[in-house]
Structure 1
């Protein structure tokens, strides 16, 4: 999955921390492309224009190791994401749409283990 962005190294660092995936070891420090190795791989490429419309494709993320959706929202906010649209419901269903540091939308959903409790 490829992200056009203004600051590929900074955005890749955010997503590396968010996912726990490693930045490719052969990444050039001042290069225009940064690969975060995961499933799927995330490629960040420097482009001159800024983001102007809503993403047509986005990632859905969940907590791991017993982390709840709400804990994951807080963790990602601590890494630099912001809440864009909170769709959590009183019964525990729903999701939170967040923006990464360059404004790309992604959703934080409940993990399967949360749905069973």
Structure 2
């Protein structure tokens, strides 16, 4: 049997730090310490060539359980729907009105952070309700 591998989730984006800090707030993640020898991320960034400054950023689960999220600057903008997206599990174990209330409460928390509400998908007999949203650069995710 193959061993379980660690992985990170990588986002292509225009503004890596902005998108990373959004996801820190959504997931309760934190910015990791700067590389050895640097007192801050700003100091590290200033040590890079100008074309590499602001080109990448990361955030991590402070408990060490969840995957690292990595954000890298790319020249092209988002053009189509994501093939992979995150489901932010805020309604686990809830059904009906309780689930909808949990989804709506999280949506209300995320909109001031820059998220956009796209549409509510109501329970259909086989799947529970979920709320489709977009992050600060238009990447889709679901409140599930």
TM-superposed CA distance for 1:89, in Å, is 4.5
The structure with the largest helix share of the pair is: 2
Secondary structure of the residue aligned to 2:19 is helix
Answer yes or no: is the 8 Å Cα contact 2:32–2:60 preserved in 1. yes
Equivalent residue in structure 2 for 1:21, among 16, 25, 29: 29
In structure 2, distance between residues paired with 1:97 and 1:20 = 20
Which residue does the alignment assign to 1:11?
A: 19
Q: Which runs of no fewer than 5 residues in structure 1 stay unpaired?
A: 110-117
Structure 1 length as normaliser, TM-score?
0.81
Corresponding position of 1:97: 132
2:108 maps to which of 74, 90, 108? 74
How far off is 1:31 after superposition?
3.0
Higher strand share: 1
Listed as ranges, the gaps of 5+ residues in structure 2 are 1-8, 35-40, 46-52, 92-100
Q: Mark the structure with the bigger radius of gyration.
A: 2
Number of positions where the alignment pairs a residue of Structure 1 with one of Structure 2:
107
Shift of 1:75: 0.8
1:70-95: per-residue Cα shift (whole Å, max 9, x none)?
A: 2111111121101112113499x310
Name the SS for the 1:13 alignment partner: helix
- Counterparts of 2:103 and 2:124, CA distance in 1: 14
Which residue, 91, 110, 121 being the options, matches 1:87? 121
Residue matched to 1:43: 70
Q: What does 1:47-66 align with in structure 2 at a 5 Å threshold? A: 47-63=74-90
Q: Structure 2-normalised TM-score? A: 0.67
Residue 141 of structure 2 aligns to a residue whose secondary structure is strand
Deviations 1:36-87 (A, max 9, x none): 11212110000000000100000000238xx822211111112110111211
